[in-house]
Amino acid sequence: MLNRYPLWKYLLIAFVVALGFVYSLPNLYPDDPAIQISGASSSTVLESAVLERAEKTLKEAGIAVKAAEGDEKTQLIRLQQADQQQLARSLIKDALGDDYVVALNLAPTTPDWLTAIGAYPMKLGLDLSGGVHFLLEVDTGRAVKQRLDIANSEIRAQLRQERLRYRTMPERADGARQLAFLDADARDAAERVITRENPDLLVETGEQGDLYVVSFGFSEQRIRELEDDAVRQNLTSIRNRVNELGVSEPLVQRQGRNNIVVQLPGVQDTAEAKRILGKTANLEFRLEALPNASRTSTESFPFRDERRPNALLERDIIITGDRVSSAQSNFDSESGQPQVNISLDSTGGKRMNDATRGNIGRAMAVLFIEQKPVTRVETRVVDGETVRVEVPGFREEKHIISLATIQSALGNQFRITGLNSVGEASELALLLRAGSLAAPMHFVEERTVGPSLGAENIKMGIDSTLMGLALIVMFMIVVYRVFGLLANIALTINLMLMLAMMSLFGATLTMPGIAGIVLTLGMAVDANVLVFSRIREEIKLGRPIQRAIHDGYDRAFISIFDGNITTLLVGVILFAVGTGPIKGFAVTLSIGILTSLFTAIMVTRSLVNLVYGGRRDLKKLNI
């Protein structure tokens, strides 16, 4: 018998290998450090003068520019050296002023013909590229509470409309709101109104002393929905804000129930990133209190510019910023004053209309709510000892950013006037546009990896991979001679295929990922070793050479299959339940098993077939 593959099998193998070669190719082109310039607002056009100014600034500072490219919206200036990136950015930022967003970027250098067929280099994890990583926790409880506040305001308005007199009672321990009535009839009428107008509320009636009470809150399921919505909306808002930063390939991802991960590769200025992301701001629209309003229905707030005295606002919230669908800053055509044009979604528009219709001539305030980080010291008992622990926390600050007179009933579209400056108008528009948050967020985690550390990690990763590969190559040749050489060719193809698959799947390469690759190389040899030792055994048992090769592959296959499938099971489960580094490792491990199965069985077999397969006269095998 002869060991031959049909032609289509050889062709298939050659095709896969060629494909692997092409798709692993982009990884050979390193990214250029670059500076990205874009307009601060979407309408800004980058004129050639702007670019010239930026390039002139760099030239004066002695920073070598490799190339500049882009269009009227975004421009990329590629630099020669990575360590000048930081300096270049601050220089350009100073030179151009606040009208432009100047951000760090890594520009790919992959040739066009490769990107045209969808071949891109692997993304590098933060540990390899450098950058910042934030983990934010969304205070979903707050979002639910806020929703209930709004519902509460609406219900009171509904009751007033129905001329049902109520008395506000303190919140119940579980957060449900309570209203008291003097007789059972009024209470039951109120219950009917509330249930009719607010189908998503859980309404209960009861008696407390001589009062008749209606309490309402959200159902468990509704709370979960609201929490989910809050996280999803925050996610969208953060995506928008990250886009404002102009970072290449940012990662904004939900993690678990109420966490959000943000990774900004290449960003070193955490303060700047935090400022933009950490605008964990929200907005509220409220009416200014009437002079004769009772103290319990009003609240006093300071202005943001601090020069103006506090203003008294109604406790009831008309809408919050998450109802804003778009916002633009421009100038009032008559007075020339800065203003912000706002569009609301349909629910928001209806509420705004209801609230403003009857209140023309009164003033409406836009409240800006910010979470300021603070650290407080707590005393805790740990292992029987009393220790002081620093707990990072947040303090909520509410400031009025605008207080303007309502000229007419407002609907879906209206404008906010009375803004102090163009800057204030554009910032308000930006905040509203970028989407205010549905719930406040806290920074739980922050990691910064320097770019030099990243470069060092890559170098060490490549060094150790090559070192490991060299050791295996020598070992295999010494132990298995010609077969060892064939196995080495297969191993190199395996490494190439792994890179190609990871690039194709858009996997992110991390340091543990590199470890996974290196480890897979070590283990990939196993399949070949199994086959080769089986062939040796068969020869020892006196089988004819071609038969021995055939049986060696056949018998070893069962062991290889069982062994690899179990390892693959582990890899897949790791991927499913793991996060971060574990996931990165699981990806490389699983991909490595698949590619090594292909190379160790198909590729070496085809090579062995090509070298030995056709020879009937084979007496001795160099194994």
Partner 1 sequence: MTDKTDEKIINFMRLRFIASFISIVLVVGSLVSLTTKGLNWGLDFTGGTLIELVYDKPVSTEGIREQLESSGYTDVVVQEFGSAQDVLVRMPGSDPGLAKELADQLSRQYEGNVKVKRVEFVGPQVGEQLREQGGLGMLLALGMVMLYIAFRFQFKFSVGAVLALAHDSVIAMGLFSVLGLQFDLTVLAAILALVGYSLNDTIIVYDRVRENFRKRRKGSPVEIINISLTQTLGRTLATSGTTLMVLMALFLFGGEMINGFASMMIAGVVVGTYSSIYIASNLLLYMNISREDLVVPVKEDEVDDRP
421-460 binders of partner 1 (CB under 8 A): 443-450, 452-453, 456-457, 460
Should residue 578 be labelled a site residue for partner 1 when binding is judged by CB under 8 A? yes
Should residue 60 be labelled a site residue for partner 1 when binding is judged by CB under 8 A? no
In angstroms, what is the minimal distance from the CB of 375 to partner 1?
5
Closer CB to partner 1, 86 or 110, in the complex: 86
Should residue 580 be labelled a site residue for partner 1 when binding is judged by CB under 8 A? yes
Should residue 200 be labelled a site residue for partner 1 when binding is judged by CB under 8 A? no
Should residue 256 be labelled a site residue for partner 1 when binding is judged by CB under 8 A? yes
Assign residue 457 a region (left: φ > 0; alpha: ψ between -120 and 50; beta: otherwise).
Answer: alpha
Amino acid in the structure at residue 253:
Q
Should residue 418 be labelled a site residue for partner 1 when binding is judged by CB under 8 A? no
Counting beta carbons within 10 angstroms of the beta carbon of residue 167, is it exposed (0 to 12), middle (13 to 18) or buried (19 or more)?
exposed
Q: How many chain residues bind partner 1 (CB under 8 A)?
A: 77
Closer CB to partner 1, 54 or 476, in the complex: 476
Please give the angle made by the CA atoms of 257, 318 and 144, to the nearest 5 degrees: 20
Q: How far apart are CA 92 and CA 63, in angstroms?
A: 11
Q: From the CB of residue 607, how many other CB atoms can be counted at a distance below 10 Å?
A: 21
Closer CB to partner 1, 173 or 541, in the complex: 541
Contacting residue, 573, 614, 615, 622, with partner 1 by CB under 8 A:
573
**CA distance readout (Å), 220 to 176, 202, 299, 328, 566:** 12, 10, 30, 38, 41
Residues 510-569 that bind partner 1 (CB under 8 A): 511-512, 514-516, 518-519, 521-523, 525-526, 529-530, 533, 536-537, 539-542, 555, 558-559, 562-567, 569
Q: Strand 508-509 vs strand 123-124: parallel, antiparallel, or unpaired?
A: parallel
Q: How many helices (H) and strands (E) does the chain have?
A: 16, 23
Q: How far apart are CA 270 and CA 443, in angstroms?
A: 12
- With contact defined as beta carbons under 8 Å apart, do 472 and 426 qualify? no
Closer CB to partner 1, 110 or 567, in the complex: 567
In angstroms, what is the minimal distance from the CB of 162 to partner 1?
47
Residues 269-328 that bind partner 1 (CB under 8 A): none
Write the interaction track for partner 1 spanning residues 457-496; mark x where CB under 8 A is met and - where it is not: x--xx-xx--xx--xx--xx--x-----------------
Contacting residue, 23, 585, 598, 612, with partner 1 by CB under 8 A:
585
Should residue 393 be labelled a site residue for partner 1 when binding is judged by CB under 8 A? no
Token look-up 């009003």 returns 298
Q: What is the CA radius of gyration of the chain?
A: 33
Closer CB to partner 1, 402 or 590, in the complex: 590
- For 215, the enclosing helix (H) or strand (E) is strand 211-218
Should residue 61 be labelled a site residue for partner 1 when binding is judged by CB under 8 A? no
- With contact defined as beta carbons under 8 Å apart, do 454 and 392 qualify? no
Stretch near partner 1 under the rule CB under 8 A, chosen from 221-229, 246-254, 388-396, 496-504? 388-396
Closer CB to partner 1, 157 or 523, in the complex: 523
Write the interaction track for partner 1 spanning residues 116-135; mark x where CB under 8 A is met and - where it is not: -----------x-------x
Q: How far apart are CA 491 and CA 469, in angstroms?
A: 9
Q: Strand 177-181 vs strand 167-169: parallel, antiparallel, or unpaired?
A: antiparallel
In angstroms, what is the minimal distance from the CB of 233 to partner 1?
22
Measured over the CA atoms of residue 7, residue 12, residue 13 and residue 19, the dihedral's sign is positive
Should residue 265 be labelled a site residue for partner 1 when binding is judged by CB under 8 A? no
